[in-house]
Chains A and B, each alone.
Chain A
Amino acid sequence: NAGVTQTPKFQVLKTGQSMTLQCAQDMNHEYMSWYRQDPGMGLRLIHYSVGAGITDQGEVPNGYNVSRSTTEDFPLRLLSAAPSQTSVYFCASSPDRGEQPQHFGDGTRLSIL
């Protein structure tokens, strides 16, 4: 089992560029989410999805879009990158949105110049 796979692992962008961070899970989990991790701030929820076709905003959604066309994939799109979006991004999945453990990918380290 691959679990949760995130690509790319590293990316450098210029301000204003757009890109998509990929996230795929092979555990047939309904619930998927995106977090960003910044020093001293833990992980903050960006967007989440409780199933294919359903997405909702988390704590810090501005500047990011998501879609969930399949159970397996949950891409995160940066529409116009800003230096404030420099961070490490983690995708997670769980069987449902309750107290089940979140399975995290290994993260994408993104730098915006």
Chain B
Amino acid sequence: TQLLEQSPQFLSIQEGENLTVYCNSSSVFSSLQWYRQEPGEGPVLLVTVVTGGEVKKLKRLTFQFGDARKDSSLHITAAQPGDTGLYLCAGHAGGTSYGKLTFGQGTILTVHP
């Protein structure tokens, strides 16, 4: 079973601060996705990274896929209260595990005004 370790589990910061969430594994993933989930709703996809070393930017959010495709990070610049939510990384494995999505434990982000 492939595992994704996400850290930190909780993050409480003030508006305007920067933050980074990490997603690490000992296994290689063919692609990695980041989702954001709000209370009472299902996760919503933010980005998919598929190439080792890939960097994608979505406004104030920067996503990076490690060169070896075993880790990823999400960096938020100048966080806003609207960024509050649960952030989840999820990896697609190839080979015989093709089609199975493995999720990290999630990071609960709270941004205080």
| Chain A residues with a Cβ under 8 A of chain B | 4, 31, 33, 35, 40-45, 48, 50, 56, 58-59, 90, 92, 97-99, 101-102, 104-107
Smallest Cβ-Cβ distance to B2: which chain A residue: A59
Which of A35, A90, A99 touches B48 (beta carbons < 8 Å)?
Answer: A99
Is B99 part of the binding interface, using a Cβ–Cβ cutoff of 8 Å?
yes
Question: In this complex, what residue of A is CB-closest to B45?
Answer: A101
Residue pairs across A and B with Cβ atoms less than 8 A apart, 15 shown, are A33-B101, A40-B106, A42-B6, A42-B104, A43-B43, A43-B103, A48-B99, A59-B1, A59-B102, A90-B42, A97-B99, A102-B33, A105-B42, A106-B40, A107-B41
Identify which of A40, A42, A97 contacts B98 (C-beta below 8 A): A97
Residues of B within 8 A of A (CB): 1, 4, 6, 9, 30-31, 33, 35, 40-45, 48, 50, 88, 90, 92, 98-106
How far is the CB of A98 from the nearest CB of chain B, in Å? 7
Closest to B48 in A: A99
Neighbouring B residues of A59 by C-beta, 8 Å: 1, 100, 102
Given the known interface contacts A42-B106, A90-B42, the answer about A98 and B92 at a Cβ–Cβ threshold of 8 Å is yes
Q: Distance (Å) between the CB of A55 and the closest chain B CB?
A: 12
Whether B103 contacts A44 by the Cβ 8 Å rule is yes
Q: Judge whether B42 and A104 touch: CB under 8 Å.
A: yes
CA distance A90 to B88 in the complex (A): 14
| A104 interface neighbour in B1, B4, B43, B104, Cβ under 8 Å | B43
**Complex-state Cα separation, A50 to B99, whole angstroms:** 8
Q: Which residue of A lies closest to B32 (CB)?
A: A99
- Of B31, B33, B105, which is within 8 A of A41 by CB? B105
**Roughly how many angstroms separate A102 CA and B33 CA in the complex, as a whole number?**
10
